[in-house]
Amino acid sequence: MKLRKGKQKFTQGLLPLWDHQCALCEINLPELLMATHSKPWKDSTDEERLDIYNGLLLCCNHEILYDQGYIAFDGSGKIHIASEIDITEYGKYGIHAKMRVNRREENKPYFKWHKRNIFRG
């Protein structure tokens, strides 16, 4: 119960932070949006788990790409795309090399952690 309340609070805090839309492609149908952690739940301290700046609001496709390390963001918020995804296929995934997310300073350490530990490169 405590866990669920924490997650709910986390998601509720994330929505306005990312204008209720996918940080990457701006899809805004609530049913398609997912709150994800840059530094995953299992690797985070209790404090990091509930830190909304450890979170990112993404549509379901982009959430899985991020969660599985196919995409990452650097300190400036610029996208990095794993070499496993061929450049000619980017369009199918709704991504392109010049995308960036509107990150805040507080997102930086979490983006860096994700890029270093989860990104496939």
Q: Which residues bind Zn ion (CB under 5 A)?
A: 22, 24-25, 27, 59, 62
> What is the Cα–Cα distance from 21 to 33, expressed in whole angstroms?
7
What's the min distance (Å) between Cβ of 104 and Zn ion? Answer: 19
CA distance 78 to 50: 24
Please, which residue, 52 or 56, has the CB nearer to Zn ion? Answer: 56
For residues 15 and 27, which CB has a smaller minimum distance to Zn ion in the complex? 27
Q: Backbone phi, then psi, for 81, in 5-degree steps?
A: -115, 130
With respect to Zn ion, which residue has the nearer C-beta, 6 or 16? 16
Instruction: Quote the least distance from Cβ 103 to Zn ion, whole Å.
Output: 15
Q: How many CA atoms lie within 13 A of 62 on its CB side?
A: 29
Instruction: Give the nearest distance from C-beta 52 to Zn ion in angstroms.
Output: 19
- Bridge partners, residue 55, by sequence: 37
Give whichever of 49 and 72 is closer to Zn ion, judged by the CB atom.
Answer: 72
Count of alpha carbons within 13 angstroms of residue 39, beta-carbon side: 20
CB of 99 to Zn ion, least distance (A): 10
